[in-house]
């Protein structure tokens, strides 16, 4: 029988809040569904080329617990325990984070004595309030975790790796993390003044780690406008040599505007290796859309029918995957011939709205808006849906597109003499942006 807990629940919670672990890092996972993040993370854990397994397994445990899967959370932490770091300080820092996560999982399960036991283990590992030698390795784990959640965490991850490098400037793993964070930050902000620094850091990683294909595909993207020949060469190498489905997905997106056939071939090869990676199906749907848009008029119907057949099969075969965006593309293809069926798909997704991530809710509202605009010819209904999308506080391509559409609508109202309706749209923009916290505008 376990001894009685020594701390009150309030005291225990205060000690847990002071820990350095995934439960206290405020990683900002709220805008995504745990299912999406877990599926994405599973692929990264299998194929990551970096020394970040402890961070990813801890993140996996955190996401499982958010999804009320305590058993799976504990399994992830046991797997993290089995992963040994070569360097002693890295190993100690990893153990601190692992046992901090253990303490939180037990606490959330109501197992307060087990949580206290884990806290005691943390105390044994680090008797002083804070060991400065462990800071860089803990910061690196936080940085890798932030990057695994979403690209727009790049700036926060950059701060983590910069702090780590201040204390251990020669650490190659930290330099790799900084390069990845810099690219993610640049990719989400497109600030030209940071481009040179990102390129320097990525070139360094590519030279030091010739098998780091994620760094190579990032560099290929970065070089597109300044060195097209080398950019294409890097992208070819990634597509031919990498087995990482995420790298292959990014390679396919690189080729999509150049050759949809080549992009399609890369995606299909990636799916053979990882048929459970939902983002590949999203890329496939996107590729079909590009093929359809670029095709000659006489070929469009054939491409659309093939896309419908393949996407319907995918949705039926993988009911457990988060395929919302692929379903929306399927609905658009179907709607070209059968608007009633298109509407039916949107209504089905609407019934599951509470399970959708904020990004997917935006995408659904945008699809509804296009449906009302092009199928039902209702400007007012379309406007309401575009506003609904824009009101969701995430700066995504869906939100930007709806913003552009609303500006165009305001112009239409103004040209027809309805200045009141036009002014209402501009007032809506002011209110939506004013009530949208700055950190949420940059959180996908």
Which residue segment(s) compose the domain that 137 sits in? 9-149+173-181
Residue owning tokens 């936080």: 142
Contact 32, 62 (CB under 8 A): no
Residue 293 lies in a domain: no
- pLDDT averaged over the chain? 91
CATH of the domain at 23: 1.25.40.10
pLDDT tier at 444 (50, 70, 90 boundaries)?
very low
In this prediction the pTM is 0.88
Give the chain's domain count.
Answer: 1
Residue 190 lies in a domain: no
The answer to the question of residue 397 being in a domain is: no
Encode pLDDT of 244-301 as tens digits. Answer: 999 999 999 999 999 999 999 999 999 999 999 999 999 999 999 999 999 999 999 9
Query: 306 in a domain, yes or no?
Result: no
Assigned domain for 102 exists: yes
214: tokens are 């994620």
pLDDT grade for 439, boundaries at 50, 70 and 90: very low
For 371, which DSSP code?
I
396 pLDDT band, cuts 50/70/90, is: confident
Residue 440: per-residue pLDDT: 45
CA dihedral 4, 7, 13, 14 (to 10 degrees): -160
- Each residue of 29-45: pLDDT tens digit? 876 777 889 999 999 99
More confident residue, 50 or 7: 7
Distance CA 89, CA 430 (A): 50
C-alpha to C-alpha distance for 344 and 356, rounded to whole angstroms: 17
In a domain, 45, yes or no: yes
- Establish if 436 belongs to a structural domain: no
> How does residue 191 score in pLDDT terms, banded at 50, 70 and 90?
low
The reply to whether 342 falls in a domain is no
Q: Distance between CA atoms of 20 and 161, rounded to whole angstroms?
A: 16
| pLDDT score, position 190 | 60
Q: CA torsion, points 417, 420, 426, 430, in degrees to nearest 10?
A: 170
pLDDT tens for 107-156 read 999 999 999 999 999 988 887 656 788 999 999 999 999 999 987 788 99
């Amino acid at each position: 029988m376990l001894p009685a807990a020594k701390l009150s629940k309030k005291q225990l919670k205060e000690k847990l809040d002071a820990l350095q672990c995934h439960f206290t890092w405020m990683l900002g996972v709220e805008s995504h569904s745990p299912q999406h993040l877990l599926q994405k993370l599973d692929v990264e854990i299998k194929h990551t080329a970096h020394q970040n397994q402890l961070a990813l397994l801890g993140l996996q445990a955190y996401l499982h617990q958010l999804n009320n899967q305590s058993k799976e959370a504990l399994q992830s932490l046991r797997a993290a325990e089995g992963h040994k770091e070569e360097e002693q300080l890295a190993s100690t820092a990893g153990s601190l984070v692992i046992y901090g996560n253990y303490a939180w999982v037990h606490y959330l399960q109501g197992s307060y004595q087990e949580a206290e036991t884990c806290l005691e283990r943390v105390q044994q590992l680090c008797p002083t309030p804070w060991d400065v030698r462990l800071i860089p390795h803990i910061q690196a784990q936080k940085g890798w975790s932030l990057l695994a959640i979403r690209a727009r965490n790049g700036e926060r991850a950059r701060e983590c790796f910069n702090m780590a490098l201040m204390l251990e400037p020669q650490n190659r793993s930290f330099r790799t993390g900084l390069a990845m964070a810099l690219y993610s930050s640049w990719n989400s902000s497109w600030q030209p003044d940071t481009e040179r620094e990102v390129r320097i850091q990525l070139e360094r990683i590519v030279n030091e780690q010739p098998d780091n294909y994620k760094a190579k595909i990032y560099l290929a993207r970065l070089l597109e406008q300044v060195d097209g020949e080398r950019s294409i060469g890097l992208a070819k190498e990634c597509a031919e040599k990498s087995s990482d489905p995420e790298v292959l997905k990014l390679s396919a997106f690189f080729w999509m505007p150049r050759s949809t056939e080549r992009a399609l071939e890369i995606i299909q090869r990636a799916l053979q290796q990882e048929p459970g990676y939902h983002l590949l199906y999203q890329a496939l749907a996107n590729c079909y859309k590009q093929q359809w848009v670029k095709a000659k008029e006489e070929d469009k119907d054939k491409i659309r029918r093939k896309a419908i057949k393949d996407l319907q099969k995918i949705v039926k075969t993988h009911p457990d995957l988060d395929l919302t965006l692929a379903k929306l593309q399927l609905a658009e293809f179907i709607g070209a011939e059968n608007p009633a069926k298109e509407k039916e798909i949107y209504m089905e997704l609407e019934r599951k709205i509470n399970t959708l991530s904020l990004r997917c809710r935006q995408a659904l509202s945008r699809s509804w808006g296009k449906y009302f605009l092009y199928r039902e010819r209702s400007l007012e209904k379309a406007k309401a849906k575009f506003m609904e999308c824009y009101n969701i506080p995430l700066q995504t391509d869906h939100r930007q597109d709806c913003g552009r559409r609303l500006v165009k609508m305001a112009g239409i109202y103004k040209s027809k003499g309805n200045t009141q309706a036009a002014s209402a749209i501009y007032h809506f923009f002011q209110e939506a942006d004013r009530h949208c916290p700055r950190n949420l505008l940059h959180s996908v």
